[in-house]
A and B are shown apart, each in its own frame.
Chain A
Amino acid sequence: MIDTEIKVTPQIAAEHGLSADEYARTQKILGRDPNLTELGIFSVMWSEHCSYKSSRIHLRKLPTRGKHVVQGPGENAGVVDIGDGLVAVFKIESHNHPSFVEPFQGAATGVGGILRDIFTMGARPIAVLDSLRFGPIVPEKAQEKSRSLAASVGRGDRGEYKTAVDSARDDEGFVSLEEIERNRRILDGVVRGIGFYGNCFGVPTVGGEVMFEPCYTNNPLVNALALGIARKDELFFARASGVGNPVIYVGAKTGRDGIHGASLLASAEFSEESQQKRPNVQVGDPFMEKLLLEACLEAMRTGAIVAIQDMGAAGLTSSSSEMASRGGAGIEIDLARVPQRETGMTPYEIMLSESQERMLLVAERGREREVFDVFYKWGLDAMEIGRVTDDGKLRVLNHGRVAAEIPAHAIAEEAPRYERPIAKLAKNPAAELPLVTLADEGADLNANFRKLLASPAIASKNWITEQYDSMVRTNTRVGPGGGDAAVLRLKETKFAIALSTDGNGRWCHLAPKVGAMHAVAEAARNVACSGARPIAATNCLNFGNPEKPEVMWQFTESIDGISEACRTLETPITGGNVSFYNETLGKPIYPTPILGVLGLMEDAECAIGSAFRNEGDAILLLDGLRQSLRDDHLQREFSSSEYARTIHGVAAGEPPAIDLTAEKKLIDCLVRLAAEHAILSAHDVSDGGIAVTVAECCFDSSGVGADVNLPLTNVPAEVALFGERGARAVVSTAAALLARVEHLAAECGVEVQRIGTVHRRDFRIQLNGTSVVQGSVASLRRIWADSLGEAIEKSL
């Protein structure tokens, strides 16, 4: 227990993560020294996680307006108009550090938190997607090298051996077998946690992506996106108003869990002692949240609720001060009235608790009863704990005695904003690494193709997605594995919504701006492949320590890339989250911006999956770029591909050059083709190049194969098959529609190449008439379908 009566010193402020300047700022705001409760309040609200103090000035550069945008960043979630009086409410958020410390609860409460952000606005959540990043779960090529290096040092001097391993470790790729096993356990815990929460809450988990890189070994990423639907005229906002209106606490009781989750866990790097932070991880109860959802939506329908906000990071502190600040009002609460799970909690603990499944709302005075009745019906606590005032202050009483009194605006909005130093890396170490040797005559393309299919990055994610209920609420038209984006029909309308999350940390590491553009482009392309027009985006920016100038450089470059891409592709950013301090023992993760793009389909019947349909259909490659790659870039770009990583153990060079205009053309073309029912399947060309893309179109089908002949180009075979550059998609269509597709594509300025035919059950790719990759679809599918589960279950 923390003694609230102790006098605050600069030393105690420092322990709370406040710098000397920040502490001085609190003294200036109050005109006196803060007491311990007030210090706690400042420390969480001014933490990086809650205040965005390092990112705010840069985030302003993001495009946030557009014809569909109803609510941009600044509320609990973004809101876009989808027609018929309906809005889509969506946001992505990270829960990275808790998921490393306690994977199951960390991931579960990550899902719980983002769901509350959605229903606190009056929207019923209808889908969740998860973007996950882990360290390797199988020994990797780069590591084999390191091990043979270690082995070559042999049994010599122990010190010498260690040195070899250490240098291998510096070599980026090294991950020990113990770490690999731990990565599997983290993945398993995260997946079970996501399933535990979403399955019980009753929201389908419909998509997302999973990638593996050594840099995530000690800092996995768990980003959860949630989507909800509401009527436009029934949205709720977190703006307290009406002096004298009651402030009501609803939901779970407050306990000591999660204290300082936001400030200490989310806003600092990991050290050797991070496991000791387990008590800072919140504990989730999806059943309670399901009740809270139903009760909140029902209470909102009474018309007696003025404002509402969930208690997420910084719990009661953030919800009360933010509602007051946004509404230009004050709030006074008495902690003695807060439902408590434990006895003897101090004001400090109650204000900072991050117990889950709680909400704070403002009701109309005189209509409290209507609100209480709804919550009682659902068996939940509802307690009037205070009232709206006109003095602009957050006043916290404890049994009538003032425990804290701070201007609400100062807590919520007056956190310091830093223009942190920015420094471009003198030289990007990965860009200096040796490149893949091309034109390798000896490359066994058939064997390498199979290795690629079995690699965790490319193998089927079925083992993961089957653990999620992807169908509850019966809206899932295209679910996990069914297409490039998840597609949800909206009952009682003709519409459907498509969603995709994407991000390539490796590319952002090599060139942050181009990598970030690719993240936007790929997410938008995926949405377009499903037949929907991309209309808005949300982003989760996962980076290292912002106090390091190189990390800030990666961050600002990424923001520039996202801004440019979102402008060109007409997908304004409506919200999201910044997660800094993703590093352990001083080693940052790859800069990993994750983009969630939302698309609208006016007719759900236009939804397109990725699977080939009928034997004899034509397989076409749509290419927005048209011109071939410049040779001098070929090798550098190929060295950053999934193939280079899996087969050669190389992660170097630079991401493929990106042409946003070409991306836009391809997107427009795909949307038109779907709207006119001109194509039967669409799948964008990404990880693993054309070879893997075509194979995936077969794997998801009811058993058809493909016979593909790639025409002569001047690129080496490996690049033709496995090269990854943007603005391309593989589509299939009936022979009778071929001319129509060609006509529409020409109108959109997209090149169409017929590359093959849907075959009965065999898979073959020829290069200019010479067969280079072949096998039965059944045998290839087995490799692709089983390898992830086998790898994970090996050591569980």
Chain B
Amino acid sequence: MKFGVVQFPGSNCDDDALHAIGAVIRQPVEFIWHESQQMSGFDAILLPGGFSYGDYLRTGAIARFSPVMKAVSKFARGGGLVLGVCNGFQILLEAGLLPGAMLRNQRLRFLCRQVHIRVETTDTPFTCAARKGQILQMPIAHMEGNYFCDAAALAELERNNQIVFRYVHADGREAGPNDFDANPNGALAGIAGVCNRERNVAGLMPHPERAVESALGSSDGLVILNSMVETLSRRTAERVSA
């Protein structure tokens, strides 16, 4: 089992992701340079946070054209696990690997704080180790995390159970309209993370890699990384028994 963390010029959570995977959950992990198209040997790809290519034009808009994203798309089509965090989520949206788009935070300011998100489905490789309805505390740090899609797309997300995480209050209550205490960026329907229809690609704005050691405030992000490890172990076991 090997994780790959993509490094775009301007990625700045790449080291943190490598630390979380390599030093905390102790799984093999390597960087993948943005010009690389080599995905063989990797079982899961993480697109980290940061400001890829400076995020000029629009967040993630340039990164989607990078050589590595061609390979990531192919990897995803082949069923590989792809997780985008923050800027990584924005890139997956721009690349069309996930539905929807990201607007600026409703109050037009960068926001860094601890938030609470609720696991809306455990039927993904990223949440299978969690309980449905489990509340996770994790930090956000972004200017564009206001998730948006049209009504038809939202209905489709709901129907297919593709909304993976929602911003909620600490006690699990859903955020009301303009309830910035719970839904800090004003995301549509409180959406903090979604997956694709095939469920092997997911993105979220909060940073699970920053929530893997309780000494730094929370270790709730571990459940996401551990879900991926579980999924990959299961796949390996299935391959072996097949």
Cβ 8 A contact of B139, one of A287, A471, A491: A471
Q: For A200, A201, A291, A477, which residue has the most chain B Cβ atoms within 10 angstroms?
A: A200
Cα separation A472 to B49 with both chains bound (whole Å): 9
Judging by beta carbons under 8 Å apart, are A467 and B111 in contact? yes
Judging by beta carbons under 8 Å apart, are B10 and A476 in contact? no
| Given A199-B141, A291-B9, A291-B10, CB of A469 within 8 Å of CB of B19 | no
Judging by beta carbons under 8 Å apart, are A287 and B51 in contact? yes
Judging by beta carbons under 8 Å apart, are A474 and B209 in contact? yes
Judging by beta carbons under 8 Å apart, are B12 and A290 in contact? yes
Q: Pull 19 A–B residue pairs with CB atoms less than 8 Å apart, ordered by A.
A: A192-B109, A199-B112, A199-B141, A200-B54, A287-B53, A287-B54, A290-B9, A290-B51, A291-B10, A379-B9, A466-B111, A467-B110, A468-B110, A471-B207, A471-B210, A472-B49, A474-B209, A477-B216, A491-B19
**Is the C-beta of B117 less than 8 angstroms from some C-beta in chain A?**
no
Question: Looking across the interface, which residue of chain A has its beta carbon closest to that of B33?
Answer: A377
Judging by beta carbons under 8 Å apart, are A489 and B112 in contact? no
Cβ 8 A contact of A472, one of B9, B16, B55: B16
**Is the C-beta of B193 less than 8 angstroms from some C-beta in chain A?**
no
The residues in A between 458 and 507 inclusive whose CB is less than 8 angstroms from any CB of B are 465-477, 489, 491
Q: Which residues of chain B come closer than 8 Å to A195, judged between CB atoms?
A: 110
Q: Which residues of chain A come closer than 8 Å to B51, judged between CB atoms?
A: 199-200, 286-287, 290
The residues in B between 72 and 100 inclusive whose CB is less than 8 angstroms from any CB of A are none
Cα separation A392 to B141 with both chains bound (whole Å): 49
Judging by beta carbons under 8 Å apart, are B12 and A491 in contact? no
Cβ 8 A contact of B210, one of A200, A285, A474, A489: A474
Binding site for A on B (CB under 8 A): 9-10, 12-13, 15-16, 19-20, 23, 49-51, 53-56, 109-113, 139, 141, 143, 207, 209-210, 212-213, 215-217
Binding site for B on A (CB under 8 A): 192, 195, 199-202, 285-288, 290-291, 378-379, 465-477, 489, 491, 604-605
Question: Looking across the interface, which residue of chain B has its beta carbon closest to that of A191?
Answer: B109
| Given A474-B210, A474-B216, CB of A290 within 8 Å of CB of B10 | yes
Cβ 8 A contact of B109, one of A200, A467, A604: A467
The 8 nearest A-B residue pairs measured at CB: A202-B12, A287-B54, A469-B141, A200-B51, A474-B16, A469-B112, A467-B110, A195-B110
A-B contacts counted at CB < 8 A amount to: 83
Cα separation A291 to B10 with both chains bound (whole Å): 7
* Shortest Cβ gap from B86 to chain A (Å): 10
Q: Which residues of chain A come closer than 8 Å to B20, judged between CB atoms?
A: 474
Judging by beta carbons under 8 Å apart, are B9 and A473 in contact? no
* Shortest Cβ gap from B217 to chain A (Å): 8
Q: Which residues of chain B come closer than 8 Å to A192, judged between CB atoms?
A: 109-110
Cα separation A466 to B110 with both chains bound (whole Å): 7
* Shortest Cβ gap from A220 to chain B (Å): 20
* Shortest Cβ gap from B62 to chain A (Å): 11
Cα separation A475 to B212 with both chains bound (whole Å): 12
Judging by beta carbons under 8 Å apart, are B216 and A476 in contact? yes
Q: Which residues of chain A come closer than 8 Å to B12, judged between CB atoms?
A: 200-202, 290, 472
Q: Which residues of chain B come closer than 8 Å to A379, judged between CB atoms?
A: 9
Judging by beta carbons under 8 Å apart, are B19 and A200 in contact? no
Q: Which residues of chain A come closer than 8 Å to B213, judged between CB atoms?
A: 474
Cα separation A127 to B43 with both chains bound (whole Å): 34
| Given A199-B110, A290-B12, CB of A472 within 8 Å of CB of B141 | yes
Judging by beta carbons under 8 Å apart, are A468 and B112 in contact? yes
Judging by beta carbons under 8 Å apart, are A466 and B9 in contact? no
Q: Which residues of chain B come closer than 8 Å to A491, judged between CB atoms?
A: 19, 23
Cβ 8 A contact of B215, one of A200, A202, A489: A489
Cα separation A287 to B53 with both chains bound (whole Å): 7
Judging by beta carbons under 8 Å apart, are A604 and B215 in contact? yes
Cα separation A475 to B143 with both chains bound (whole Å): 22
Cα separation A475 to B53 with both chains bound (whole Å): 25
Q: Which residues of chain B come closer than 8 Å to A378, judged between CB atoms?
A: 9
* Shortest Cβ gap from A375 to chain B (Å): 12
Q: Identify 14 new A-B residue pairs, CB closer than 8 A, beyond the known A199-B51, A287-B54, A467-B109.
A: A199-B112, A200-B54, A202-B13, A288-B54, A291-B10, A466-B111, A466-B113, A471-B112, A472-B13, A472-B16, A472-B49, A489-B216, A491-B23, A604-B215
* Shortest Cβ gap from B31 to chain A (Å): 12
Question: Looking across the interface, which residue of chain A has its beta carbon closest to that of B49?
Answer: A472
Q: Which residues of chain B come closer than 8 Å to A468, judged between CB atoms?
A: 110, 112
* Shortest Cβ gap from A300 to chain B (Å): 17
Q: Which residues of chain A come closer than 8 Å to B210, judged between CB atoms?
A: 471-472, 474
* Shortest Cβ gap from A463 to chain B (Å): 9
Q: Which residues of chain B come closer than 8 Å to A471, judged between CB atoms?
A: 112, 139, 141, 207, 210, 216-217
Cα separation A202 to B55 with both chains bound (whole Å): 13
Question: Looking across the interface, which residue of chain B has its beta carbon closest to that of A380?
Answer: B9
Cα separation A725 to B69 with both chains bound (whole Å): 60
* Shortest Cβ gap from B206 to chain A (Å): 11
* Shortest Cβ gap from B186 to chain A (Å): 15
Q: Which residues of chain B come closer than 8 Å to A477, judged between CB atoms?
A: 215-216
Q: Which residues of chain B come closer than 8 Å to A469, judged between CB atoms?
A: 110, 112, 141
Q: Which residues of chain A come closer than 8 Å to B207, judged between CB atoms?
A: 471
Cβ 8 A contact of A470, one of B55, B112, B215: B112
| Given A469-B141, A471-B210, A472-B141, CB of A287 within 8 Å of CB of B10 | yes
Cα separation A466 to B19 with both chains bound (whole Å): 24
* Shortest Cβ gap from B213 to chain A (Å): 8
Cα separation A379 to B66 with both chains bound (whole Å): 14
Q: For A200, A474, A491, which residue has the most chain B Cβ atoms within 10 angstroms?
A: A474
Cα separation A199 to B110 with both chains bound (whole Å): 9
Question: Looking across the interface, which residue of chain A has its beta carbon closest to that of B7?
Answer: A294
Cβ 8 A contact of B16, one of A467, A473, A605: A473
* Shortest Cβ gap from A315 to chain B (Å): 22
Cα separation A468 to B15 with both chains bound (whole Å): 19
Cα separation A291 to B8 with both chains bound (whole Å): 10
Cα separation A291 to B109 with both chains bound (whole Å): 25
| Given A290-B10, A290-B12, A378-B9, CB of A474 within 8 Å of CB of B112 | no
Cα separation A469 to B142 with both chains bound (whole Å): 8
| Given A287-B10, A290-B12, A379-B9, CB of A474 within 8 Å of CB of B19 | yes
Q: Which residues of chain B come closer than 8 Å to A290, judged between CB atoms?
A: 9-10, 12, 51
Judging by beta carbons under 8 Å apart, are B50 and A202 in contact? yes
Judging by beta carbons under 8 Å apart, are A467 and B9 in contact? no
* Shortest Cβ gap from A14 to chain B (Å): 42
Question: Looking across the interface, which residue of chain A has its beta carbon closest to that of B20?
Answer: A474
Q: For A195, A379, A465, which residue has the most chain B Cβ atoms within 10 angstroms?
A: A195
Question: Looking across the interface, which residue of chain B has its beta carbon closest to that of A470?
Answer: B112
Question: Looking across the interface, which residue of chain B has its beta carbon closest to that of A492?
Answer: B23
Q: For A199, A469, A491, which residue has the most chain B Cβ atoms within 10 angstroms?
A: A469
Cα separation A451 to B65 with both chains bound (whole Å): 54
* Shortest Cβ gap from A306 to chain B (Å): 27
* Shortest Cβ gap from B32 to chain A (Å): 14
Question: Looking across the interface, which residue of chain B has its beta carbon closest to that of A293?
Answer: B12
Judging by beta carbons under 8 Å apart, are A466 and B112 in contact? yes
Q: Which residues of chain A come closer than 8 Å to B54, judged between CB atoms?
A: 200, 285, 287-288
Cα separation A291 to B34 with both chains bound (whole Å): 13
* Shortest Cβ gap from B63 to chain A (Å): 12
Q: Which residues of chain A come closer than 8 Å to B216, judged between CB atoms?
A: 471, 474-477, 489
